[in-house]
Amino acid sequence: MKVRGTVRPPGDKSISHRALMLAALAGGGKGTSELEGLLTGADVKSTARVLRQLGGEISSIRDDTKVVVHASRISHPASRLHCGNSGTTARLMLGILAGQKFAATLTGDASLRRRPMRRVTEPLRAMGAEITEGRGDALPLTIRGGRLRALTYTTPVASAQIKSALLLAGLTGGVAVTIREPYRSRDHTERLLAYLGLGLHERDGAIVYEPAPEARALVPAFRLAVPGDASSAAFLVGAAALAEGGELVIENVGVNPTRTGFLVVLARMGAHVDRVNLRDAGGEPVADLVVRPGGGALRGTEVSAAEVPTLVDEVPMLAVLASRAEGETVFREVGELRVKESNRLELIAANLRVLGVEAEARGNDLHVCGTTRPPRGRVDTARDHRLAMAFAVLGTLPGADVRLSEKGSVAISYPRFFRDLKAIGVG
């Protein structure tokens, strides 16, 4: 099959969450922010819903419509804050709430209620937040913020959600925060804080937030054009890399180097992706991607532990491509995939095996052996959006018969996914 056309991925999920949160905190209750290109997926709507419960005034989040956020001082919510499927909402909101003088309870759907929260609550407690667990290391949690202490912290895992929660606690609590991480995770929070002039810098390899000398730093109201999501674009790139010919242009993709490890790995595997029209949007690099299928000649590779944070959400897509590459591909130290929206590490391997591919999780490594046999079988997505999209892409191969247990989960991060797959000629 040939790939064709020009497509724009949806707004970046990580940046959309952060933009909404900072806009809601702007001006200590004054000011209007305007956000363009925000993701309309369910996760971002969860953040908007939670911020509205706290008194944020946010216009409705619709395609091709600017979202307007009137800052209003955030206050005690009347009911529990439901974060839906969104780990970013839960963990970053814990940071924001740590600096507030009221109690709030956070919960989420069944998947989110299985995900670890102590990685965030432990350092927030060290800053002085009071947190009560309902069910151990998971949601629901009740947090009462207040007067916080400065924190210097080394995160045990490279996680932008931990780092961002602590930076946001520093911001709302008006205290300094210094963070070191084993490998650099996505840096959208740092870039947005710096773009807004909010006391963020790097010192000796650490990320440092220092509040302005006047008691509490004021977040200015702002305008932002959110770039397209590299993680959503990755599925289109993957579909194009598997096609037999043609050319695909993916416009307006965020190419922040903490997010584009999949392009580095794809180049090693022999795929051809060019970046053109490189520009800046709100402190984030943006480009158009041009993908030219190489006729199926992908090669297996080894993905190192240091690369993993730069492609952590792209492992499902890369694993699917590895199943069509010559030889073995190994993803080192991807144990974090066990605590994503599903146990991605086990489910990638199990689903590939169902489709006739040799694949296995060994300790924290994922091994995938390429094959030329058409993939056939039923895939359990576990309602995980990225598993659904990755295996849907595998299903575009000639002779494939990949049946997904459900497709609705794509609405979490890429509501138009199946329409876009059709539009580029492979769906």
Q: Residue 206 CB, nearest distance to ligand S3P (Å)?
A: 18
- DSSP per position, 156-178: SS--HHHHHHHHHHHHHHT--EE
Residue closer to ligand S3P (CB basis): 164 or 252: 164
Q: How many CA atoms lie within 13 A of 48 on its CB side?
A: 21
Three-class SS of residue 35? strand
Residue closer to ligand S3P (CB basis): 139 or 242: 139
Kindly state the number of chain residues that form the binding site for ligand S3P, as judged by CB under 6 A.
Answer: 10
Query: How far is Cα 118 from Cα 249, in angstroms, rounded to an integer?
Result: 42
Q: Residue 248 CB, nearest distance to ligand S3P (Å)?
A: 24
Residue closer to ligand S3P (CB basis): 72 or 185: 185
Q: Residue 15 CB, nearest distance to ligand S3P (Å)?
A: 8
Among 8, 10, 14, 175, binds ligand S3P (CB under 6 A): 14
Cβ contacts of residue 365 below 8 Å, gap of 6+?
A: 330, 331, 332, 333, 334
Between residue 302 and residue 341, which ones bind ligand S3P under the rule CB under 6 A? 312-313
Residue closer to ligand S3P (CB basis): 248 or 382: 382
Nearest by Cα to 82 from 139, 165, 159: 139
Q: Residue 255 CB, nearest distance to ligand S3P (Å)?
A: 16
Query: How far is Cα 23 from Cα 331, in angstroms, rounded to an integer?
Result: 37
Q: Which stretch binds ligand S3P (CB under 6 A): 159-167, 212-220, 250-258, 270-278?
A: 159-167
Instruction: Residue 197: count other Cβ atoms within 10 Å of its Cβ.
Output: 12
Residue closer to ligand S3P (CB basis): 190 or 420: 190
Q: 140: cis peptide before it, omega within 30°?
A: yes
- Go through the chain and tell me how many residues it has: 427
Beta bridge partners of 366: 331, 361
Backbone CA torsion sign across 142, 147, 153, 158: positive
Beta bridge partners of 302: 330
Tokens 């580095």 correspond to what residue? 264
| Catalytic residue chosen out of the listed positions 313, 365, 380, 401 | 313
Between residue 184 and residue 213, which ones bind ligand S3P under the rule CB under 6 A? 185-186
Residue closer to ligand S3P (CB basis): 82 or 259: 259
Instruction: Residue 411: count other Cβ atoms within 10 Å of its Cβ.
Output: 18
313 is catalytic: yes
Among 3, 39, 58, 160, binds ligand S3P (CB under 6 A): 160
Q: Residue 414 CB, nearest distance to ligand S3P (Å)?
A: 12
Among 47, 161, 260, 329, binds ligand S3P (CB under 6 A): 161
Query: How far is Cα 95 from Cα 167, in angstroms, rounded to an integer?
Result: 7
Nearest by Cα to 277 from 241, 248, 253, 246: 253
Among 40, 53, 164, 256, binds ligand S3P (CB under 6 A): 164
Residue closer to ligand S3P (CB basis): 172 or 185: 185
Query: How far is Cα 157 from Cα 163, in angstroms, rounded to an integer?
Result: 10
Residue closer to ligand S3P (CB basis): 45 or 186: 186
Q: Which stretch binds ligand S3P (CB under 6 A): 69-77, 153-161, 321-329, 376-384?
A: 153-161
Q: Residue 393 CB, nearest distance to ligand S3P (Å)?
A: 18
Strands (E), 118-259: 130-133, 141-144, 151-154, 177-180, 200-203, 206-209, 223-225, 245-246, 248-254
Between residue 79 and residue 118, which ones bind ligand S3P under the rule CB under 6 A? 88
Q: Which stretch binds ligand S3P (CB under 6 A): 70-78, 122-130, 158-166, 300-308?
A: 158-166
Query: How far is Cα 330 from Cα 343, in angstroms, rounded to an integer?
Result: 18
Strands (E), 4-102: 6-7, 32-36, 57-58, 67-70, 81-82
Q: Residue 141 CB, nearest distance to ligand S3P (Å)?
A: 16
Q: Residue 304 CB, nearest distance to ligand S3P (Å)?
A: 17
The catalytic residues are 313
- What residues line the site for ligand S3P (CB under 6 A)? 14, 88, 159-161, 164, 185-186, 312-313
